[in-house]
Amino acid sequence: MEDIKKYEAMAKIDLSDTERQWVMSRAEKLMMSFSALESIDTSGTEPLVTVLDIKNIFRDDVAKKFITREELLSSAPEQYDGYFQVPKTLE
């Protein structure tokens, strides 16, 4: 019962005694399910990262220059020293 109260405090909820009993019964059923899994021998099994058989399909990361600075700044309403100039937003 004290464990449930600890979890209540962490979740910032307040359960009635009836709700606490219900949660405890469900938690016991859940723990029994996990204990059944603990009895399975998995010593010869490799850990599974994904169920899909996909290898790294990413392309090489190659830097390409698509547009020059001058071309980019040519459409800017205002520029200063090779940068966009925008109105000051903070005082």
pTM of the predicted model as reported, rounded to 2 decimal places? 0.42
For residue 82, give every residue at least 6 positions away whose Cβ sits within 8 Å of its Cβ, in sequence order, or none.
Answer: 69, 73
Q: Does residue 9 fall inside a structural domain?
A: yes
Q: Does residue 22 fall inside a structural domain?
A: yes
pLDDT value of position 16: 92
| Domain containing residue 9 | 2-38
Domains contained in the chain, number = 1
Per-residue pLDDT reduced to its tens digit, 8-29? 999 999 999 999 999 999 989 9
Burial of 90 (0-12, 13-18, 19+ CB in 10 A): exposed
Q: Does residue 27 fall inside a structural domain?
A: yes
Within the chain, what is the greatest distance between any pair of CA atoms?
72
pLDDT value of position 82: 87
Q: What is the rounded distance in angstroms from the CA atom of residue 18 to the CA atom of residue 3? A: 15
Q: Residue 1 is encoded by which pair of tokens?
A: 């019962």
User: Is residue 1 over pLDDT 70?
Assistant: no
Per-residue pLDDT reduced to its tens digit, 42-53? 888 888 888 887
User: Is residue 38 over pLDDT 90?
Assistant: no
Q: Does residue 21 fall inside a structural domain?
A: yes
Q: Does residue 30 fall inside a structural domain?
A: yes
